[in-house]
Amino acid sequence: MTADLDADVVGADAAAKRRDEVVAAVTEHAGQVARELARLRGGDYGQATFETAAGSWTLKYEAGDVQYLRFERGGDETYVVSTHQPPDPEALAAAMADYDAFVAAFNDHVRSLAGVLDDAPAEFPAVTSVDGVVAERERVLSKMREACDAMAGRLRRYEGGDYGSFSARVNSSRWELKWEEGRTSYLRVGGEGGIYLISQYQPPSAHDLRAHADDFAGFVDAFNEEIADAAETLEKVSL
């Protein structure tokens, strides 16, 4: 039977070479579209779809390079440019018949934006400085930190450890001071999910600070009462 297998097999080298030449040329040309699109959108990566009479073209780009150029028509997709594998020569030929329409659609898109910003204002109202609010917030917080650090130092001596917490209820809200090595870790109002008046991350908003500032004195009073009660208890101990 092997005697009947003498038919010549046509080599695909020529077709593959021509396909690779077309893909390289399209990659270079579509790269220009990608770079202009990136400039237009103000970013290094993204994608855009352009409609033509024959179908739609989607260009995805990153850092000025084409990631892929896809042509869709009637449910069929052809990746004219791709980082994975080259397209089938026949599908590539069908897509390339519409490539000029893709470029024209992109050009029409760019032209449609001409003059769109002509009436945009170039002068804007002055922006009010937040210096005064920030300074007032820091003034209040610094007083709170000073008092909380003093409480933390006393709690360290009183409880004999390097870290701990003290909590009290003031006007139906739970206040908690967490301390470590005699310094304030945080001061929180409202329990889990509450408002951190003092923390290592960020300060509270001016509104939150104002809403709870008046009750801080009650928290300090609760701490003083706790220490006074403990002292009174120890005074009753006889040795």
pLDDT of residue 119: 93
pLDDT of residue 201: 92
| Residues 147, 224: Cα–Cα separation, whole Å | 12
Write the CB contacts of 215 (distance below 8 Å, at least 6 apart in sequence).
170, 171, 173, 175, 189
pLDDT of residue 55: 97
Strands 76-82, 163-170: pairing is unpaired
pLDDT of residue 63: 86
pLDDT of residue 2: 45
pLDDT of residue 236: 57
Paired tokens of 234: 């120890």
Write the CB contacts of 56 (distance below 8 Å, at least 6 apart in sequence).
49, 50, 71, 72, 73
Please give the chain's pLDDT, 239 residues, in tens.
Answer: 445 545 443 345 788 899 999 999 999 999 999 999 999 998 889 999 999 999 999 999 998 899 999 999 999 999 999 989 899 999 999 999 999 999 999 999 999 999 999 999 999 999 999 999 999 999 999 999 999 999 999 999 888 888 899 999 999 999 999 999 989 999 999 988 899 999 999 999 999 999 999 999 999 999 999 888 877 765 555 55
pLDDT of residue 161: 84
